[in-house]
Chains A and B, each alone.
Chain A
Amino acid sequence: GAGVSQSPSNKVTEKGKDVELRCDPISGHTALYWYRQSLGQGLEFLIYFQGNSAPDKSGLPSDRFSAERTGGSVSTLTIQRTQQEDSAVYLCASSFQSGGGGEQFFGPGTRLTVL
């Protein structure tokens, strides 16, 4: 389909390992967002990319978290030295426009479990 896709859908890792989560946004969408959704909690903003501008990293919880977006399309969220509290669903969203009412279209998420 033409929606936002994420991989893997599920990831189980051991504490201390690094993980990479991938997001393929909708073609032509210039804005890309990463969110974290912990069990029973609301979505938590992590990072936002808009075109070639410097990303808004204000939501990243620690320096173990980083993200990049190559060629203005695919994005990778990397979590280094994972901790059990990193267990959550990581959602990616993209939108055609960043300001005002641009609707964000969400991917299905990656469920991360840190043992």
Chain B
Amino acid sequence: KNQVEQSPQSLIILEGKNCTLQCNYTVSPFSNLRWYKQDTGRGPVSLTIMTFSENTKSNGRYTATLDADTKQSSLHITASQLSDSASYICVGRIKAAGNKLTFGGGTRVLVKP
């Protein structure tokens, strides 16, 4: 069972609308949790990073939240743009796993005009 589960697997939204992506993790403690954006044919790029003591972090129109009690994180995209079409990956750096990252399966977002 993957230690980091994301939902939904895919999402279609209209340009200008908001959306929220979910990430549930089953292993803790962790050093940090990141959200990455991966454009088609490119490598992932970090959007936000949070430690377990933080509960929200923003990067422009992207806002990540973290609830350490429920082991859930979310990524909220505000006023979506066509360029937001990508896969969004939740990644935990689990202390017990040393320096390795644990990746969620990603949510593929398609923004339509």
A residues sitting closer than 8 Å to B (CB atoms) are: 4, 31, 35, 40-45, 48, 50, 56, 59, 91, 93, 98-101, 103-109
Q: Are A42 and B99 CB-contacts (below 8 A) given A106-B45, A108-B41?
A: no
Q: In the complex, how many residue pairs between chain A and chain B have their CB atoms under 8 Å apart? A: 54
Q: Mark B29-53, 1 if CB is under 8 A from A, else 0.
A: 0011010000001111110010100
Chain B residues within 8 Å of A31, by CB? 99
Residues of B in contact with A, size category: 20 to 34
Chain A residues within 8 Å of B104, by CB? 42
* A to B CB contacts below 8 Å, 28 in the list: A31-B99, A35-B103, A41-B105, A42-B89, A42-B103, A42-B104, A42-B105, A43-B44, A43-B89, A43-B101, A44-B103, A45-B100, A45-B101, A48-B100, A56-B98, A56-B99, A93-B43, A100-B31, A100-B32, A101-B31, A101-B32, A101-B49, A103-B46, A104-B101, A105-B43, A106-B44, A107-B43, A108-B41
